[in-house]
Structure formats: C-alpha cells, structure tokens
Structure 1
C-alpha cells in the first residue's frame, strides 16, 4: 500500500497550537500528535521543523510538514523558502505542503516542489483556486489541498462554510484531494468525502484550545434567561 493510500478516507490532524500561546511548545505538539493518532487520525500536519522533529520519533503515520513565515512584500506564508524545504526533509516529513497560489513569493513554487521531490517527499499544493492546483500538478504535486480558499485577496469570504465548489474542481483533476479549511465539525468532514475529497485535514477544532473555548463562550454569552 502506498503512503497516500494509507491516508485515503482518513482524518489528518493538524497539530498547530496558537502562535506564542501556552501550548506552543514542541513537547506539547508531540503529545497532541500522539493523542490524535490514538484517536484514529490517519496522518498529521505539523508546522515548524522543531515541532516535526519532536513528533517524528513517536508516530509512524504519514506526516505533512510545513513552515510558516511572515514576509515583507509577500503574503505567502507556507513553506516559502528552500531552507524550509530542506529543514522539513531532514526532520522526517513524508509530505511537504507548499503555498501554491499565484502571488508574489520569495521562491517559485516549481523550484520548491522540485527540491522536495528530489529529497524523496511527496508534494502537497495548498491552493486557493483551480488554477493554483493545475499549475501545481504540472510541477509534480500529487496532493491538491483546498487549504487557502477564503484566505487570499481574490477568494476571501465571510462565509464560515468550507469551499465545496473548489473541492469538486480539484477532484476533477484526478489527483489526491485534501479537503482543508473550515472543516470544523464531524459532519462537514464526512460531507467532504462525499463531495470528492480523498482525505480531510482538521486543525482548530481539534488542537487550538483557545479557539474551541471561544466558540463555547461566544455561544453561551447572553443565553442565560
């Protein structure tokens, strides 16, 4: 069975605590990852080389690695530099996710994808549009994710629902489709599979305790008679 086949139909737990929050420590990320796998996660998405290095000894499921950075002059944040790809390879990423949007960026997507492939990793394209996915697939990306739909200038929306339309478009390309972005309930994750996703990544609803707590606090505010 290929690595992607082990993920098909499964949940990928994105173990990314709130930046600079009390849970933003490699040993806590490693504990989150182990707990997610114990709960049935088929794979993990881990941000940061140090976090990935902390997680890797404790899990055997496939790990998607990313590095997030903020840049002056570029809105691209996800795995934007060659050194990020190299660090993730060295830390044991099976899949490397790269921002595949058509925006100004420090290094072209195709160059980063080539580096990841040369290092033995599968490339995942974090997309906002069908065009992003088509270009990424031409550069060797096997996994097409809806990750960035709603989070770029040309796709931003106030709609809290996932982008099922993009999911269907990605499925039409014949690659391995990863539903990601606002899949924050079990029902939405299941619907993603029915709409053509091969797997579903869930983040905040699983691992960002500050966000989850806030959802409850907001819903309860003013509810008492």
Structure 2
C-alpha cells in the first residue's frame, strides 16, 4: 500500500512537471470576457480558445467554472483557471477563497491562479495560510501566484507556489504604474532561478512578447491584445484621433 501511494505521488509529480515544462517559451492566451462586454459567454470564449489553439498557443487562461468547463470540453490545451469574485472588505478578487478553488478545479482547470499580492484577503485570511490550505485540499493542482512586485514574487516562491506571474503589476496601488509591460520585474524574478515566471500584463506586441522571453520569462500570457477586440479597436481609434489633432 505504501509503495503504491509513493508511486502515484511520483507519477503525479512528473505530470505536474510536464505541464509546466511544456509551457516553456510558449504563448498563453487569456480568454476572458466580463458580463458587460460584447463577447461575454462560454460559447464565445470556447471559440476564442480554439482559435488560440489553432494559432499555436501552449495554454489558455480562463475565468469562471462555466468558461473553463466549456473550453476543457473541446480544447486540448491545459487551462490556467481563475474565478473573479468580490467579497466585502477585500480588494482581492482573483480566486480569493477555497470555494472558488474547488469550483474551478472541478471544472477541469490544470492550474489555479490566485491573487498573491499584499492586498487584504477575505475574512482576514493570510496568504501564508491560504496556500497550505490549497495544497492540503487540492494536492495535485498547480498554483500560479499572480503578483505585482518583486517582494510579492519572492514571498510566493518561499511559500512554494509552482509558477509566479506578473499579472498584477500596475494593478495594485503600490506597484509600478506604467503603460508598457513590467519587463524589469520579469527579469529580476527570473534571475532568481527558483520558480518559473510568466510575463503577463499590458503586452501588446510580438516584440514585447519576445522581450519578456529575452528577460527570462518561462512563458508569456497575452489577453487583451488578442481576445478583447473592443480594446484593440480603441487603440486604433486613439491613434487616429491623435493624428487628426496634430
């Protein structure tokens, strides 16, 4: 019995390592739409995911159990799942509690993305308590820590997360506020050589994508620039308006 348990654990570890290693130097496409957006709906997000798969993406990042389940039903790519939910008294909304973890794991997520910033968590739960709880209740699930600063990245690594993503850089009041992606943060975290780093946030061009990889990113996550046509349209319109005013 002990041998079987040990063997299963080793197989699980190899599978987990394979999921992470297969992301290396690849493009992860974030397929998300909020309720007020034109492309909201699981069928539309599935179409986005299938288009990303056809284009050569190595994984999908998806929000809500419903979207994750729909994408998992037809898309062969691994899914980084999250569940955006707001709780009173907390600014943390990316998979904030074990309840959301449970729902997206059951929906088929291969990775679970969580807010790993210093922002106040629901019910006063500390990150150093939350991550062990995930490990205890969902031992085979890989944890992606969404951080906004170097210090948060190091803290997440110390807590034993599987992957660190720069998702929240610029989205917390104390992190670097700039329009370009935070490539310097990617470089600093990658240089530690301890945990794979995903570059995410405000990546608009293939050149910026390659720059993140050159800085040491394990893989790159792009969302808005690929899957939110209303925001892409706004950038073109803004450029036209600027041209007309000069």
Q: In which range does the TM-score fall when normalised by the shorter chain?
A: over 0.9
Deviation, 1:46, is 0.2
Mapped to 1, the partners of 2:205 and 2:74 lie a distance apart of 27
Counterpart in the other structure of 1:122: 142
1:108 aligns with 2:126: yes
The gaps in structure 1 that reach 5 residues or longer are none
Distance change in 2, residues 1:82/1:190 (3 Å):
same
Counterpart in the other structure of 2:11: none
Contact 2:98 2:134 in 1 (8 A): no
Mapped to 2, the partners of 1:38 and 1:137 lie a distance apart of 33
Counterpart in the other structure of 1:168: 187
Mapped to 1, the partners of 2:199 and 2:57 lie a distance apart of 15
Could you say what secondary structure the match of 2:81 adopts? strand
Mapped to 2, the partners of 1:187 and 1:113 lie a distance apart of 34
1:26 aligns with 2:42: yes
Deviation, 1:121, is 1.0
Instruction: Count residues with an aligned counterpart.
Output: 224
RMSD of equivalent CA atoms: 1.7
1:132 paired residue among 152, 158, 161: 152
Cα displacement string for residues 93-124 of structure 1 (whole angstroms, at most 9, x for unaligned residues): 11101110112101333444334434211101
Counterpart in the other structure of 1:44: 60
Mapped to 2, the partners of 1:68 and 1:193 lie a distance apart of 27
Q: Which has the higher helix share?
A: 2
Superposed, which structure 2 residues align to 1:8-157 within 5 Å? 8-106=24-122, 107-118=125-136, 119=138, 120-157=140-177
Deviation, 1:17, is 2.0
**More divergent stretch after superposition (190-199 vs 162-171):** 162-171
Mapped to 2, the partners of 1:19 and 1:126 lie a distance apart of 22
Contact 1:47 1:65 in 2 (8 A): yes
Counterpart in the other structure of 1:186: 206
Mapped to 2, the partners of 1:50 and 1:108 lie a distance apart of 28
TM-score relative to the length of structure 2: 0.86
Cα displacement string for residues 27-62 of structure 1 (whole angstroms, at most 9, x for unaligned residues): 111111011011000001001111101110112211
